[in-house]
Amino acid sequence: MDKLAIGIDMGGHYIKAALIEEKKILKRCKVSTSKTRAPEGVIDQLQRIIKQLQPSDNALPVGVGVPGFLDMGRQHVVLLPNFPNWEGLPLKCMLEDRLKTNVAIENDANCFALGEGLAGLAKGLKNFVAITLGTGIGGGIVLDGKLLQGAHGYAGEPGHMVFGKDESCGCGCRGHLEAISGTDAMERRAIRLGLPDDMEVLWPRRKEAAVAEIIRPSLDSISRAIASIVHLLDPEMIILGGGFSRAEGLLQELKPLVQSYLVPHFRDTFRLEISSLGNDAALLGAASLVQDRSTTAA
């Protein structure tokens, strides 16, 4: 088994990467994502990061968590809602040609779910859902110990559940959860209200009336989505990750809202938790794609 690999989490604000031996992170790298998020710039960044992490001239296998829809064979990009002009790109082949090594690509939230199943709060669980809260909102669903892909490879997209009306989503549709509760969406609303477009600044001020107009609807929609997922899938646990999940006090804000939407007999049957691995979950999951592992969670 290839024990040494590079795992990458390709986010809208940051690209995070690590050199990983089995489940141990040996070296890390984090850079701001190219502002345009265009393919050539991001792929150049990936190449530089991988070169920095390589321990020698021997090219290590690379697993990449990609923020959007991929084809069933995990060869091509179908749609990255927050990254323009990626549609149809043969990303796996492009990276392999550029890097001269074995590359695997997978939805980033699926990588997060795999990492949680390998070494996080979901280790040993057979039925759980991982949700990433950040630039967009992603999800990975594990049922009976296996990652759910669906008929076309698109399963596990809570960010595109419909809870709104006219809010414009990066996927081209309207009313999606991501268009209400993704950090990019909240920051755009902040600009329109003359507030700082930075959630790290806004979150501590969430009790202020003007800021609450931005954050309260977002938390409510996230809570509705979590309750709906619980009703639909009956998981043992829902684990939250992504940048916004690290906001201090988020769980205390969400839990009462989620409980208020749950059918009573579901209220004590599952746990809502913040990932104990943080960003490492997606990195471990991405690396596991090229460490001779299957898509089982544990």
Give residue-wise pLDDT tens across range 153-201: 999 999 999 999 999 999 999 999 999 999 999 999 999 999 999 999 9
- What angle, rounded to 10 degrees, do the helices at 91-99 and 39-53 form? 40
User: For 137-157, what is the mean pLDDT?
Assistant: 96
Question: In this predicted model, what pLDDT tens digit does every residue of 222-242 receive, in sequence order?
Answer: 999 999 999 999 999 999 999
Domain ranges of the chain: 4-110, 123-274
CATH of domain 4-110: 3.30.420.40
pLDDT in tens, 244-295: 999 999 999 999 999 999 999 999 888 999 999 998 999 999 999 999 643 3
Q: What is the pLDDT of residue 56?
A: 79
Does 123-274 carry CATH code 3.30.420.40? yes
4-110 against 123-274: fold identical = yes
Could you tell me the pLDDT band of residue 58, with boundaries at 50, 70 and 90?
confident
Q: What is the pLDDT of residues 33-56, one digit of tens each?
A: 999 999 999 999 999 999 999 987
Whether the CB-CB separation of 6 and 48 falls below 8 Å is answered with no
Cα angle vertex 182, ends 103, 39, to 5°?
A: 35
**Spatial contact of 66 and 18, defined as CB atoms under 8 Å apart:** no
User: Position of tokens 């929609």?
Assistant: 221
